[in-house]
Chain A
Amino acid sequence: MSSSRQFLLGMRDTIPMLVGAVPFGIVYGTLAVASGLSVAATLAMSLLVFAGSAQFVAASLVASGTSLTVILLTTLIVNLRHLLYSASLLPFVRHLPQRWRAPLAFWLTDESFAVVHRHYLLDDSPVERKHWYFLGSCLAMYSLWFACTLIGVLLGQALPSLGDWGLDFAMIATFIGIVVPLLRNRPMIVAALVASAVAVAAHGLPYKLGLMLAALLGVCAGVISQRLAERGKPAQEEAA
């Protein structure tokens, strides 16, 4: 398959992901401006950071007057999952020169990872041209994300009172839409419940430390609960 066909195929296969990203991007643009970020900063974030959930979280933290250090630390935690994505894709891109690897890494998102990883695993065509598919998926996401941010910003400016409408709830609904489908097993549910409970209980702590503490304890609870479940299984089989 030619490079351009791979590129177009990557774009086409990303379309379902784009459908979900459109409202996300528009709401981010609107919300970030309502949170007190300037238009330039809102657009620059989509252009230079390009990480939807981290951008949302940062905007909500800016709105509540959080310090820069805490926002950056939260960004680190929220984006750590990309380490797993890059580890999973590494075997397929390590033959590429750095001028390919660096931009592909910059554009690596949840959505493109899901589409591209599947393509590398399932498609039988030789690996040599598949980075064009990767690139197509990334550029589709990137251009759409920026366009939707811009639409959101313009919408927010056209309707200045939009910030009072409770649009911050759109972020809550978006995060719920991301989290709930992930709650497929008991350890995931335990992690979510523990993180929620700690976040509520530790809400009064300064510097948003409650969020960090909740995330940390939620992760620990998930890991412990998974380990307990795995330890329980062989014992049950023996008993049966």
Chain B
Amino acid sequence: MSSFEIGLILGMAIITFAIRYTLFAVGHRVRFSPLVVQALTYVPVAVLSAIVVPVMLMPEGEGLQLSLHNHYLVGGVAAILIAARWRNLLATIAGGILCFFLWRWFYG
């Protein structure tokens, strides 16, 4: 492992464990302010959307590609529709990937 990888894994391990363990370690009942609780509930949606959408709209890394030739966009929209309809993680992953590959096969 390179020193970058060691730093990466140790850093991620320490940060993740600290988040999960701090309250358990202290053991006092903790009351977050309603604002903090509210903010935390939006974190996963905001972070994951911010990762997903740029890849769908600009897979090359720069410039919007709003065309049917963009199979990331087509596959992503298919995955969103499947997820909205069935709310099933497995179906979303499988269906989305299938659409992505089929589209790339036909139009790639």
A116 to nearest B CB, angstroms? 13
The answer to whether B49 and A102 have CB atoms under 8 Å apart is no
The answer to whether A81 and B90 have CB atoms under 8 Å apart is no
Distance of A20 Cα from B79 Cα, bound (Å): 15
The answer to whether A214 and B46 have CB atoms under 8 Å apart is yes
Distance of A192 Cα from B42 Cα, bound (Å): 9
> Does B38 belong to the interface (CB within 8 Å)?
yes
Contacts A86-B20, A105-B17 given: A203-B11 contact, CB under 8 Å? no
> Does B87 belong to the interface (CB within 8 Å)?
yes
Distance of A108 Cα from B80 Cα, bound (Å): 28
Contacts A200-B58, A200-B64, A215-B50 given: A84-B41 contact, CB under 8 Å? yes
Among A84, A105, A181, the one with the most B-chain Cβ atoms within 10 Å of its Cβ is A105
Q: Which secondary structure dominates chain A's binding surface?
A: helix
What 8 new A-B contacts, CB under 8 Å, besides A177-B92, A196-B54?
A82-B20, A84-B41, A106-B21, A173-B76, A173-B93, A180-B80, A217-B46, A223-B39
Chain A residues with CB under 8 Å of B35's CB are 223
Contact with A along B71-108 (1 / 0, CB 8 A): 11001100110011001111011111100110010000
Number of A-B contacts (CB under 8 A): 276
Closest CB pairs A-B (n = 8): A218-B46, A173-B96, A177-B92, A180-B83, A222-B42, A214-B50, A196-B53, A105-B21
The answer to whether A49 and B13 have CB atoms under 8 Å apart is yes
Among B23, B83, B87, the one with the most A-chain Cβ atoms within 10 Å of its Cβ is B23
> Does B68 belong to the interface (CB within 8 Å)?
no
**Who on chain B is nearest to A105 by CB?**
B21
User: CB within 8 Å of B: which residues of A?
Assistant: 19-20, 23-24, 27, 37-38, 40-41, 44-45, 48-51, 53-55, 57-58, 60, 62, 68, 71-72, 74-87, 89-91, 93-94, 98, 101-102, 104-106, 108, 166, 168-170, 172-183, 187-188, 191-196, 198-200, 203-204, 210-211, 214-219, 222-223, 226
Chain A residues with CB under 8 Å of B47's CB are 57, 74, 77-78, 195, 211, 215, 218
The answer to whether B72 and A169 have CB atoms under 8 Å apart is yes
Among A53, A55, A178, the one with the most B-chain Cβ atoms within 10 Å of its Cβ is A178
A214 to nearest B CB, angstroms? 4
The answer to whether B75 and A83 have CB atoms under 8 Å apart is no
The answer to whether B79 and A173 have CB atoms under 8 Å apart is yes
6 sampled A-B residue pairs with Cβ under 8 A: A45-B9, A45-B12, A49-B12, A75-B16, A83-B23, A173-B79
Chain B residues with CB under 8 Å of A57's CB are 47, 51
A185 to nearest B CB, angstroms? 11
The answer to whether B45 and A218 have CB atoms under 8 Å apart is yes
The answer to whether A173 and B19 have CB atoms under 8 Å apart is no
Distance of A203 Cα from B87 Cα, bound (Å): 29
